Amino acid sequence: MIRKVKGTRDILPPESRLWGAVEAKARRVFEGFGYDEIRLPVMEPTELFVRTVGEGTDIVSKEMYTFADRKGRSLTLRPEGTAGVARAFIENGLGQRPQPMRLSYMGPMFRYEKMQRGRYRQFSQIGIELLGASTPQADVEVLLALHTFLKALEFDDLVIVLNNLGDPEDRDRFIKVLKDELMPNREKLCGDCRRRWTENPLRILDCKVETCRELVAHTTPVADVVSDEARTHVDAVAQGLEALEIPVRVAPRLVRGLDYYLRTVFEVISPALGEDTVICGGGRYDRLISDLGGRAVPGIGFAIGEDRLIDVLPDSFKHRVLDVPVVAVLPLGDEAAGSALGLTVQLIEGGLRAPAEVTGRSLKASLKWANKIGAAVALILGESEIEKNQVLVKDLREGTQEAVARDAVVERVRRLVGEGDS
């Protein structure tokens, strides 16, 4: 038997219905804010991620799926979405369209990393990018869209954490301060952090090894070293969120694993998965597009780890999606088969979930099948019902049945399953 690749998975019914519901909710909310979907290639030139994500990051140095094509070109399965959006913005001349440009995306990403709960080597992200606006109000909008989406999924316990990374000019100054403070204990850092000391010192702040966490806990926060302009910007973001009653928590040592972030950075964590498990991350990246050869275009966005999001969905949302009443359509005989499928269409157009029995089972076997799939109601359609232009409506929960006129059956079934007023 051929098995799936390690780090990938099959998403089966009924869980796949949750994925569809979450993605539909994302589209509805983000389209409401004016974001249009962009669909990007799954593979990009490797150089794109080396130049944007950062050669010294763990993603580029250890986690990317990179390979040579038949002409020897180095390609990479995308580990994140923002770099591809920036490339598409430049390549397709999107800067000529009305600004700011609001884009959303969703789809698979790939990173070769340690397997753990909610983390896979092929995983899915949902993200938005706001390009062409440098104001704090743009940051607030992005976080408001995120908050609105999570609220639409009925979350009430997720925590948004916020920090100020300053500008690139502040970074060198901060790194010097950080290294000076850690130098007496440099040899106590883990092996990865000793490597990061030279390649990507900011990532020391994000290390999950307890010894390293204790050492950085007493270092100067990056927000204490940033410029007045950066401080004013992020303070205005925090004030805008407070005015909208969106709760955030300041995380003075929050950094992101991508080199292009500056000023506003944020994450969303779930108490159900633990403080160290991030289900969403984002921030501002005003120099990303110019670093790729385009003109200077400010940007801000986020990406949600959909696998982790599904893992911690509130029960109330899950029940709303999974506990949809099923109506089984049961034809008796060949003559009724076509009419039954026509009835199924009527029920679907009436907002009902109505699978039909299509294998030619007997009535007894059909009712047994209806019970197995969790149907609340069975609609029986035989030769007699067709002649009378009726349908036999059987309530499988109460054990009662009645003959209903064909043109009234949808409304009758909707009332039986509690959908009459929806």
Residue 113: phi and psi, rounded to 5, are -140, 175
pLDDT tens for residues 139-172? 999 999 999 999 999 998 888 999 999 998 888 8
pLDDT of 56 > 70? The answer is no
CB 142 within 8 A of CB 103: no
Q: Distance between CA 274 and CA 14 in Å, rounded?
A: 26
Q: What is the DSSP string of 242-261?
A: HHTT--EEE-TT---SSTT-
HSE-up of residue 121 (Cα within 13 Å, Cβ side): 14
Q: Could you tell me if residue 38 is left (phi over 0), alpha (psi between -120 and 50 degrees) or otherwise beta?
A: beta
pLDDT of 269 > 60? The answer is yes
Residues 6+ apart with CB under 8 A from 167: 226, 227, 229, 230, 262, 263
Q: Which one, of 65, 46, 161, lies nearest residue 110 by Cα?
A: 65
Q: Distance between CA 120 and CA 98 in Å, rounded?
A: 38
Domain ranges of the chain: 15-167+226-318, 325-416
pLDDT of 421 > 60? The answer is no
Query: Exposed/middle/buried for 39, CB within 10 Å: 0-12, 13-18, 19+?
Result: exposed
Q: What is the DSSP string of 128-189?
A: EEEES--SHHHHHHHHHHHHHHHHHTT--S-EEEEEE---HHHHHHHHHHHHHHHGGGGGGS
The residue count for the chain: 422
Locate 121 and state its tokens: 């080597």
CA 274 to chain centre: 18
Neighbour tally for 330: CB within 10 Å = 25
What is the fold, at CATH topology level, of the domain defined by 15-167+226-318? Answer: BirA Bifunctional Protein; domain 2 (3.30.930)
Q: What is the DSSP string of 359-394?
A: S---HHHHHHHHHHTTEEEEEEE-HHHHHHTEEEEE
| pLDDT at residue 311, as a whole number | 92
pLDDT tens for residues 174-184? 888 888 888 88
The residues facing 356 across adjacent strands are: 329
| pLDDT at residue 192, as a whole number | 84
CA 48 to chain centre: 23
| pLDDT at residue 185, as a whole number | 84
CB 126 within 8 A of CB 328: no
CB 111 within 8 A of CB 122: no
pLDDT tens for residues 210-236? 888 888 888 888 888 899 999 999 999
Q: Which pLDDT band, with edges at 50, 70 and 90, does 422 fall under?
A: very low
| pLDDT at residue 306, as a whole number | 96
Mean pLDDT of the chain: 91
| pLDDT at residue 275, as a whole number | 67
Q: Distance between CA 138 and CA 1 in Å, rounded?
A: 51
Q: Distance between CA 303 and CA 305 in Å, rounded?
A: 7
Query: Exposed/middle/buried for 410, CB within 10 Å: 0-12, 13-18, 19+?
Result: buried
**pTM, whole model, 2 decimals?**
0.90
pLDDT tens for residues 74-91? 999 999 999 999 999 999
* CATH class of segment(s) 325-416: alpha beta
Residue 401: phi and psi, rounded to 5, are -150, 155
